[in-house]
Chains A and B, each alone.
Chain A
Amino acid sequence: MSVASPRRSEQTATLHADPREEIVEHLKPMRAFAMSLTKDWAKADDIVQDTIVKAWTNIDKFEPGTNMRAWLFTILRNTFYSSYRKVKREVADTDGVFSARLSEKPSHDGRLQMRDFEKALSKLPIEQREALILVGASGFSYEEAALTCGVAVGTIKSRVNRARNHLSALLDLNGNTNFEMTDEATLAVVAMNTSVTR
């Protein structure tokens, strides 16, 4: 298995005598990234499980002192795309033209809620969604995200930019729009969806 193993960054955990001990520390971020890709907890957990087994058995390929989270995310991403190519359940739509045509802008009065955002995020083409998640939410640098995705840094920057523009259009964001994502009703719905889908 040939995967990128970028230099250790500040987000990574403490050094262990056996690097396999560190895998478990990245379980929650791996599940969050897998959930962002699959939009389904059961599938996300299957991919994380496969990733752990692959990482465990290929630990000799990991270079101690480098960024384990990026290494694990690379394996996870490869695992996802292997199953994704087999299933091919989603429409190939790298520019998001098709999904934008299908999507409906949320009707709102200048206040958006978290479920609107989550819905819009799920409509982004997968390449844009993963780039935005890696850079905007997982704390990866553009360079780390590029290594993880196996593309040039410029490609990641372009995908992140397109993802932001795409989301902005999907959510009809303007200077008068504000999210209300910490209200109890929204959090209750998200918590309920999270426990149901797991």
Chain B
Amino acid sequence: MAQDRDRAHARKQIQDGLKQVYGTYSDADVPDRFDLLMRQLKDKEAESTPEDKS
């Protein structure tokens, strides 16, 4: 009984810890390099599309 209670408590502590740590990673600011990357990919796509059609 006490073992089950300890196990449940440990599991809850782990879940809380996971959410806290992963939340910190998820909330981190996204560097500008990704804006630039998305723009480059879109530009490249826009450049290649007319040629593909012709």
Could you tell me if A121 and B21 are in contact, using CB atoms closer than 8 angstroms? yes
With A27-B30, A173-B9 known as contacts, the answer to whether A167 contacts B14 (CB < 8 A) is yes
Q: Is the CB of B10 within 8 A of A173?
A: yes
Within 8 A of A (CB), among B1-49: 2, 5-6, 9-11, 13-22, 24-28, 30-31, 33-34, 37-38, 41
- Contact B6–A174 (Cβ < 8 Å): yes
Contact string, A65-101, partner B, CB cutoff 8 A, digits 1/0? Answer: 0000000000000000000000000000000000000
Whether A133 and B22, one on each chain, are in contact in the complex, defined by CB atoms closer than 8 angstroms, is yes
- B10/A133 in contact, CB under 8 A: no
Partner of B13, one of A20, A23, A31, A179: A179
A28 proximal to B (CB < 8 A): yes
Q: What are 7 A-to-B residue pairs whose CB atoms are below 8 Å?
A: A52-B38, A53-B41, A136-B18, A137-B19, A168-B10, A168-B11, A168-B14
Is the pair A138, B22 in contact by a Cβ cutoff of 8 Å?
Answer: yes
Q: Which residue of B lies closest to A45 (CB)?
A: B31
**Cβ contacts under 8 Å, A45 to chain B:** 31, 33-34
Which positions 113-160 of chain A face chain B at CB distance < 8 Å?
114, 117-118, 121, 132-133, 136-138
B residues within 8 A CB of A178?
13
Contact of A117 among B2, B17, B26, B27 (CB under 8 A): B17
Contact of A175 with B17 at beta-carbon distance under 8 Å, contacts A29-B26, A45-B31 already known: no
> Looking across the interface, which residue of chain B has its beta carbon closest to that of A187?
B24
| A47 interface residue per 8 A CB criterion | no
Q: Which of B13, B20, B33 contacts A49 (CB 8 A)?
A: B33
Is A48 in the interface zone, CB < 8 Å from B? yes
* Chain A residues whose CB sits within 8 angstroms of the CB of B41 once the complex forms: 20, 52-53, 56
Complex Cα distance, B5 from A132, in Å, reads 21
Specify which of B15, B17, B28 lies most central, judged by the most chain A CB atoms within 10 Å of its CB.
Answer: B17
What's the nearest-Cβ distance from chain A to residue B25, in Å? Answer: 4
